[in-house]
Amino acid sequence: MSVKSSVPAYPGAEKQRLVETRSIDYIPLRERHGHPFSQFTLWFGGNLQITAIVTGALAVVLGGDVVWSLIGLLVGQISGAGIMSLHAIQGPRLGLPQMITSRMQFGVFGAVIPLVLVCMMYVGFSASGTVLAGQALAKLIPVSTAAGMIMFSALIVVIAVLGYRVIHQLGKLASVIGILAFAYLFITLFSTQDLSAVWQNQHFTPANFLLAVSLSSSWQIAFCPYVSDYSRYLPADVSAKKLFSSVFFGTVLGTQASMTLGVIVAAIAGKAFAGNEVGYIVGLGSTTTMAMVIYFAICFGKITFTTLNAYGSFMSLTILVSGFRQQTALSRRGRILFVVLMVTLSCVIALLSEPAFLKSFTHFLLFLLAFFVPWSAISLTDFYLITKGRVDIPALSQPDGRYGRWNLAGMAVYFLGIMVQLPFIDNPLHHGSLTWIFAGNDVSWVIGWVVTAMLWLVASRWDRRGKPEQIICPSE
């Protein structure tokens, strides 16, 4: 049974447990809590970490200069974070994790298509983080790199099982540790290195500039499938402006700081950086003690970021399985099993792929855009322009309900959104036939987002499933 409601008033949260008991089910109003600022610390602290440093460094490693790489990265941060922050608002408005809302556009069973791709993304990001954290942990303890990866993965399992509140607390602590560590690294760089030659070396090329834009925008867009997982416990009437600003500035400032450090370090180090990312960063420590502190900061930064991916992968796998089993929640045993499964898979990939990490991760990160841009365009267009947040939440778990089993229109638009990008993708995994139009530059993600959004606006006119007049929430 369900009751109709507009976005209801917040009656006050009940006392919260440390261990999360919810999974993909609707978060009742009595359990809502928190403040938008927690979103700032989560995304700020989560992005002050080594993988973001390495990703920013790629702009220089692959041929760019410092000044235009930094400008390009900032442009990409702003555009990608804007899209990501709009997704964050969906969390408290619906009280649901991000990907379960895809059942509105794809059908209860049809949502499996983007979910499978999302799970692949989480595993890939978790694996890349495990490689770098394993390297740092191996120096900190010390143990072998493989042992460091396994120990790190075990810690991620524990935190992901504990869930939402612990993850947000980690975000706050990561912000403090990250600020201190990055302040030290920047001060060290500017006080010990002559950076005048680095700043003067300016050679703008459209290809390298757009590469930097794509690196940072893809980094931000890759968060979209799980950003509202971490905002869904906020009060339903939380200010959209405050929430948007908290997520936007948190992720932009944190990521840009990390990528700026990566750009400068890569420009100074040259070939000495690639393949020895952790070692080079730690080498900036002036003493053995400071080196150990930096190793610790790297490990801690990766804990927050990799936990986000592990938690997101568990949520997505739960949504995927529950759609066919018509479940609305998951048992504690099931939660542990799914988390262990996804983290173990990431760890195995990390153990097998370490030597080729940098090259493989670059290709993987950029190619992700082709699959998540059309999903994001459909989701945001539907939520803000078509349904305007009016969702029948109980029907999301009913294959024979309002949203049906398969929505062919949603799946068709999604695949068209992918196909329209393919001719414009310039990636070692796929080289499009029309990239010459833009002088070999990859602008596929821009084309894909705009075209998909327009297609979904047109397709929605023939949607006969019926839209609720207001949001329909489960009975509390």
The domain that holds 357 is classified in CATH as: 1.10.4160.10
Report the distance separating Cα 444 and Cα 223, nearest Å: 19
Residue 235 tokens read as 């009060």
Angle between helices 206-221 and 369-381 (to 10 degrees): 60
Are 141 and 148 in contact by the 8 Å Cβ rule? The answer is yes
The pairing of beta strand 426-427 with beta strand 472-474: unpaired
Task: Report which of residues 357 and 130 the model is more confident about.
Answer: 130
Determine, yes or no, domain membership for 229.
Answer: yes
Are 298 and 281 in contact by the 8 Å Cβ rule? The answer is yes
pLDDT of 5 = 41
Task: Report which of residues 357 and 390 the model is more confident about.
Answer: 390
What's the structural domain count of the chain? 1
Give 250's contacts (C-beta < 8 A, 6+ positions apart): 39, 40, 41, 42, 43, 44, 47
Determine, yes or no, domain membership for 330.
Answer: yes
pLDDT of 253 = 96
pLDDT of 2 = 40
Task: Report which of residues 328 and 336 the model is more confident about.
Answer: 336
The b/e string for 328-358 (b: 16+ C-beta within 10 A; e otherwise) is: bebeeebbbebbbebbebbbebbbebbeebb
Averaged over 109-130, what is the pLDDT? 84
**How far is C-alpha 85 from the geometric centre of its chain's CA atoms?**
11
Report the distance separating Cα 452 and Cα 261, nearest Å: 35
Are 423 and 434 in contact by the 8 Å Cβ rule? The answer is yes
Confidence of residue 11 (pLDDT cuts 50, 70, 90): very low
Report the distance separating Cα 407 and Cα 123, nearest Å: 27
How high is the mean pLDDT of the chain? 84
Confidence of residue 4 (pLDDT cuts 50, 70, 90): very low
Has residue 315 got a pLDDT over 50? yes
Q: pLDDT above 70 covers what percent of the chain? A: 92
Determine, yes or no, domain membership for 467.
Answer: no
Report the distance separating Cα 179 and Cα 434, nearest Å: 43
Of 405, 403, 374, nearest in space to 390 by CA: 403
Each residue's pLDDT tens digit, 272-295 = 776 677 777 877 777 778 888 888
Residue ranges making up the domain that contains 275: 34-368
**Percentages (nearest 5) of helix, strand, coil residues in the chain:** 70, 0, 25
Residue 326 tokens read as 């018509």
Averaged over 454-463, what is the pLDDT? 90
Averaged over 464-471, what is the pLDDT? 80
Confidence of residue 241 (pLDDT cuts 50, 70, 90): very high
Q: Could you give the C-alpha distances from 375 to 89, 220, 239, 379, 450, in angstroms and in order? A: 16, 14, 25, 6, 12
Token pair 């979910």: residue: 115
pLDDT of 434 = 84
Determine, yes or no, domain membership for 318.
Answer: yes
pTM here is: 0.87
Q: pLDDT above 90 covers what percent of the chain? A: 31
How many Å is the Cα radius of gyration of the chain?
A: 22
Has residue 438 got a pLDDT over 50? yes
Lowest mean pLDDT among 96-100, 195-199, 226-230, 339-343: 195-199
Determine, yes or no, domain membership for 128.
Answer: yes
Each residue's pLDDT tens digit, 20-59 = 777 788 999 999 988 999 999 999 998 988 888 888 988 8
Determine, yes or no, domain membership for 27.
Answer: no
Confidence of residue 366 (pLDDT cuts 50, 70, 90): low
Residue type, 391: V
Report the distance separating Cα 24 and Cα 98, nearest Å: 9
Lowest mean pLDDT among 109-113, 236-240, 290-294: 290-294
Averaged over 308-333, what is the pLDDT? 78
Bridge partners (DSSP) listed for residue 430: 427
Lowest mean pLDDT among 61-75, 147-161, 282-296, 448-462: 282-296
Determine, yes or no, domain membership for 388.
Answer: no
Determine, yes or no, domain membership for 352.
Answer: yes
Bridge partners (DSSP) listed for residue 431: 426
Lowest mean pLDDT among 44-48, 112-116, 471-475: 471-475
Confidence of residue 361 (pLDDT cuts 50, 70, 90): low
Report the distance separating Cα 404 and Cα 109, nearest Å: 8
Averaged over 238-252, what is the pLDDT? 96
